[in-house]
Structure 1
Amino acid sequence: MQICDRVLHRRGFRVSDPFLTALPAATELPTAVCTLHSTGGCFTGRCRIERGQGRLVAMALRLGRFPPAGRNTPVQVTISGDGQRWYWVRDFNGHRMQSSLTYDHDTGCVREDFGPMSIWLQPSFDGRRLGISIHRLTILGLPVPKFLLPRSDTIEWQDDRGRFRFDVAAEAPGLGLLIRYQGWLTPVHGASGQS
């Protein structure tokens, strides 16, 4: 467990990681979780992707550019910052999904933008795992009412092999499962770290 450096120093920029900024200042995270959120760079691994059923679910997933279903799918996540935002590019075996993240001072949440969708995420830490819940959602700038807000059971942790593990899941009221992807990542040596 370690207290993460909240600021990424890259190419002359100081970029505060929005997830670390949203947590209490002295939060000690598992090393693998801390590394992913505080160093940027490239991470690779494998994951299982499950998608919900139905036309409305398919439309929502297409809008968010989420990946197709798959087992043991190769995944690469590249994280960078430009002084204002963090950018996450997720590549699920050739299917790219890009988002930008900022810390929203008004809500104390992480705002993640996926094309026309914006999601406000609230991280919490229970001593072992980082949990992430959905606080707010807008589509094309229009807020989704609270009673229709998807529920997220997203967690991040470090496994016994020292790998970053993730289980990202979202369900919508009346629709059930939207998407779930779970797996592991490790840093690509020479592509991660502070500069």
Structure 2
Amino acid sequence: MPLFARVLGADFDALPPAVQRLHRAQGMRRYHGEVEVRRGHGPLSRILAAATRLPPAGTGPAQVDIRAGREEERWTRRIGGRAMPSRLWESRGLLCERLGLARFGFRLHAQDDAILWRVARVSVFGIPLPAAWFRDVVARESGQDGRYHFDVRAAMPVVGLLVHYRGWLHVE
């Protein structure tokens, strides 16, 4: 069973076709689309964005390579000439993602024909951080006009906006 279908359970089958196609495919696949990225401007925002390999500000093409196996997926998002690799797996009902120096555990919910991601736990260098610091890190995946759409916003208290990127991919 694909990773996102395992984490979401029966709710996976109610998602839009483009979202299901992207998450059902196994092996290596490459998707192309468009993205708009806004970045925070404060010094802490820039440091944290660099540590997690977040994309630069701008608008333009996006490419996402996904290598999906039975136990994990490896995603490489290419935005603005920069690669943002991550590894995803399931642990105790959470979708876990290693992104740069950080390791996240997300609760996924299917709601209004979309997948909503909410942070449940975070660690950096293996040191747990309060999940409340990450309450403004949210992601949404949806389908519109046959395309897979994404909207990811990461902000933190005191630090402010780290990144907000949104766009779409062709999923065939």
TM > 0.5: yes
Q: What corresponds to 2:31 in structure 1? A: 43
Q: How many residues align?
A: 169
Report the aligned-residue RMSD: 1.6
Q: Is the 8 A contact 1:167 1:181 kept in 2?
A: yes
Q: What corresponds to 2:133 in structure 1? A: 148
Structure 1, 88-97 or 55-64: larger mean CA deviation: 88-97
CA offsets 1:69-112 (integer angstroms, 9 cap, x no match) = 002x211111113443210011113211111110012xx11110
Q: Is the 8 A contact 1:89 1:97 kept in 2?
A: yes
Residue 117 of structure 2 is aligned to residue 129 of structure 1: no
Structure 2 residue ranges without an equivalent (≥5): none
Residue 2 of structure 2 is aligned to residue 29 of structure 1: no
Q: What corresponds to 2:68 in structure 1? A: 81
Q: Which of 8, 31, 51 does residue 63 from structure 1 map onto?
A: 51
Q: Which of 94, 117, 120 does residue 109 from structure 1 map onto?
A: 94
SS of residue in 2 equivalent to 1:53: coil
SS of residue in 2 equivalent to 1:132: strand
Q: Is the 8 A contact 2:108 2:117 kept in 1?
A: yes
Q: Which of 145, 149, 152 does residue 165 from structure 1 map onto?
A: 149
Q: TM-score, normalised by structure 2?
A: 0.91
Q: TM-score, normalised by structure 1?
A: 0.81
Distance, in Å, in 1 between the alignment partners of 2:43 and 2:11 is: 44
* CA apart distance, 1:116: 1.8
SS of residue in 1 equivalent to 2:21: helix
CA offsets 1:38-59 (integer angstroms, 9 cap, x no match) = 1141110000001112111111
Over alpha carbons, which structure has the higher Rg?
1
Structure 1, 150-159 or 37-46: larger mean CA deviation: 150-159
Counterpart residue type for residue 177 of structure 1: L
Q: Is the 8 A contact 2:39 2:162 kept in 1?
A: yes
Q: What corresponds to 1:3 in structure 2? A: none
Q: Is the 8 A contact 1:79 1:88 kept in 2?
A: yes
Counterpart residue type for residue 30 of structure 1: P
Distance, in Å, in 1 between the alignment partners of 2:105 and 2:11 is: 22
Q: Which of 154, 161, 168 does residue 177 from structure 1 map onto?
A: 161
Distance, in Å, in 1 between the alignment partners of 2:33 and 2:54 is: 18
Structure 1, 141-150 or 83-92: larger mean CA deviation: 141-150
Relative to structure 1, is the Cα distance of residues 134 and 146 closer, same or farther in structure 2, using a 3 angstrom cutoff?
closer
* CA apart distance, 1:26: 4.9
